[in-house]
């Protein structure tokens, strides 16, 4: 008996060692990826600080410290989602479809969307910046929209309804409704659709879709697993537009963004440490619904044991710690500097330089979004390498770069947002008829994940600072950037699908020609 116990202990010890070593290797890879993503942004900001914008030294030091936290947090978060968040979502999705009860799918989908959205840190940051709208009214309204559309999306997967039909109806209603929504509210509504699909909800919702789609055996099941993020982004836009009937924002003041002030290293550390408990609480609330759903389904149907359970627990810890560190870095370090740069350059005679500058920042910024990396990895795996992470990355960078440039042009000129979203979404809907269905679903998903915490905490403050400098309307002009970032990848990735379709047809013709030559020989 003693020998058997020792053998069991040694087996468990070796298993834990292998898990630990594998986790360490993957974590180093994740940190290197994060460092590559963040370095260009830091380089651009440093160039501006040294040659164009005289940023206070303590704020610049806070930005650099926040950049280091961002890299550490992003690496831990990405590893955690790979180990825990996505598998949990897939397990729950499989479990609810195996029950063969559509009511359970509807109820679970609604509850997941509702509670995960209420606790999304990205949404909380956004809601505090919206003028004239009570924070919790905004959050609850958006969460109800996400819950409703997520449950509808799961039903779409079960019944195999074409994504094109749902998107045409949903966005058709939105665009018609947009013609009647007050200009001061339209930008906030489209921004709401972008901020809901943040780093916490994306991996879980995508895993949920994969699990539900696994219950089908037809050819279109894999492509139908995409699209949940897209439809979950429609609900908030529609809900906030309807909210505009009750609350119409004026040009009220948004929450003030305070510059990091620290005369020495101890005060700098204190500035970050004072905010840490708030993000510990927010991320705890974000992960609580996921943890509760996991524990419930673990008891009912999942019954995960052994190394798989240890892996998930480690993943949840990594996700929690990583997201706390990430949000601390971007909110305390990035947000004040972004706002200050926009405010300063917006008051300069050559303020139009903000447009190419914003496009350059947008190109690199999207690569630093945690949810974008999760989507790219998921796309690569689900398409068996058909769509490379590099192709996805370039397509999204092009889209976000264009959207940031157009948004800053809109801020500087005061043009209505409807002039941009109406033709943009119409073009995206038309491209659906020429793009393979998989690319369409991925494109509309990418719009939601591109507008994450990096956009909310750096680019949006940049636009707000510029808007204040030129004397614009915050609600109508500064807001809308997140919505624009969510729109342009819909176009660029569908164009990528058309290019792929053309190349695939050429390859087939070449193979047929080679085959005929072989037969002749």
Tens-digit pLDDT profile for residues 133-157: 777 888 888 889 888 888 888 888 8
Q: What is the pLDDT of residue 72?
A: 92
Number of H helices, E strands in the chain: 22, 0
Predicted confidence at residue 321, as pLDDT, reads 92
Task: Find all residues with CB under 8 Å of 74, minimum gap 6, and list them.
Answer: 30, 34, 37, 38, 322, 326, 368, 370, 373
Structure-token pair, residue 485: 């970032």
pLDDT tens profile 95-126: 877 776 778 888 888 888 887 787 676 677 67
What pLDDT sits at residue 427? 92
DSSP state of 367: G
- Residue 251: predicted pLDDT: 47
| DSSP H or E segment with residue 140 | helix 135-159
Number of neighbouring beta carbons within 10 Å of residue 6: 10
- Which residues lie below 8 Å from residue 242, measured CB to CB, with a gap of 6+? none
Sorted by sequence, the CB contacts under 8 Å of residue 46 that are 6+ apart come out as none
Select from 103, 93, 379 the least CA-distant residue to 215: 93
Judge whether 212 and 158 are in contact, CB under 8 Å: yes
Q: Which residues of the chain have pLDDT under 70?
A: 1-24, 100, 119, 121-122, 125, 131-132, 198-200, 215-225, 245-262, 370-371, 374, 378, 382-386, 452-453, 507-521
pLDDT value for 158 = 77
Distant-in-sequence, close-in-space partners of 447: CB < 8 Å, separation ≥ 6: 194, 230, 233, 485, 486, 487, 488, 489, 490
pLDDT for position 437? 81
- Cα separation, 158 vs 105, whole angstroms: 9
Tokens of 290: 């996921």
Q: Tokens standing for 16?
A: 């834990």
Length of the chain: 521
State the residue for tokens 């053309």: 502
């Amino acid at each position: 008996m003693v020998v058997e116990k020792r053998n069991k202990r040694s087996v468990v010890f070796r298993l834990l060692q292998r898990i630990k070593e594998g986790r360490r290797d993957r974590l180093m890879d994740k940190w290197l990826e994060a460092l590559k993503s963040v370095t260009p942004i830091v380089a651009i900001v440093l160039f501006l600080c040294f040659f164009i914008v005289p940023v206070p030294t303590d704020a610049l030091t806070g930005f650099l410290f926040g950049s280091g936290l961002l890299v550490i947090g992003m690496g831990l978060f990405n590893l955690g989602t790979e180990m825990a968040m996505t598998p949990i979502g897939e397990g729950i999705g499989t479990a609810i479809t195996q029950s063969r009860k559509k009511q359970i799918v509807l109820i679970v989908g609604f509850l997941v969307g509702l509670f995960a959205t209420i606790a999304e840190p990205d949404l909380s940051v956004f809601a505090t910046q919206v003028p004239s709208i009570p924070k919790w009214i905004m959050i609850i309204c958006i969460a109800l929209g996400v819950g409703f559309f997520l449950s509808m999306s799961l039903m779409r997967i079960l019944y195999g309804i074409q994504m094109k039909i749902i998107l045409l109806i949903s966005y058709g209603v939105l665009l018609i409704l947009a013609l009647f929504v007050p200009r001061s509210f339209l930008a906030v509504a489209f921004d709401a659709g972008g901020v809901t699909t943040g780093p916490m909800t994306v991996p879980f919702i995508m895993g949920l879709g994969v699990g539900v789609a696994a219950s089908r055996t037809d050819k279109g099941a894999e492509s139908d697993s995409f699209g949940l993020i897209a439809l979950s982004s429609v609900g908030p836009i529609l809900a906030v537009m309807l909210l505009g009937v009750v609350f119409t924002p004026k040009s009220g003041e948004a929450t003030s963004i305070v510059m990091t002030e620290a005369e020495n290293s101890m005060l700098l550390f204190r500035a970050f440490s004072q905010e840490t408990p708030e993000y510990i609480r927010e991320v705890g609330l974000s992960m609580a619904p996921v943890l509760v759903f996991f524990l419930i389904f673990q008891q009912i149907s999942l019954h995960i044991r052994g190394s798989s359970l240890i892996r998930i627990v480690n993943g949840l810890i990594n996700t929690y710690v990583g997201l706390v560190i990430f949000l601390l870095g971007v909110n305390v370090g990035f947000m004040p500097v972004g706002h200050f740069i926009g405010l300063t350059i917006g008051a300069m005679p050559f303020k139009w330089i903000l447009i190419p500058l914003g496009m350059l920042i947008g190109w690199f910024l999207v690569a630093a979004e945690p949810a974008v990396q999760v989507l790219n990895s998921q796309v690569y795996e689900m398409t068996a390498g058909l769509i490379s992470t590099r192709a996805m990355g370039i397509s999204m960078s092009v889209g976000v770069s264009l959207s940031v440039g157009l948004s800053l042009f809109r801020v500087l000129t005061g043009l209505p947002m409807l002039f941009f979203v109406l033709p943009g979404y119409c073009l995206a809907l038309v491209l659906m008829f020429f793009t393979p269905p998989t690319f369409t679903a991925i494109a509309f998903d990418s719009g939601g994940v591109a507008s994450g915490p990096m956009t909310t905490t750096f680019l949006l403050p940049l636009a707000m600072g510029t808007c204040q400098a030129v004397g614009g309307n915050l609600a109508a002009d500064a807001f809308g950037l997140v919505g624009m970032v969510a729109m342009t990848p819909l176009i660029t990735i569908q164009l990528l699908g058309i290019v792929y379709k053309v190349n695939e047809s050429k390859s087939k013709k070449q193979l047929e020609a080679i085959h005929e030559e072989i037969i002749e020989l």
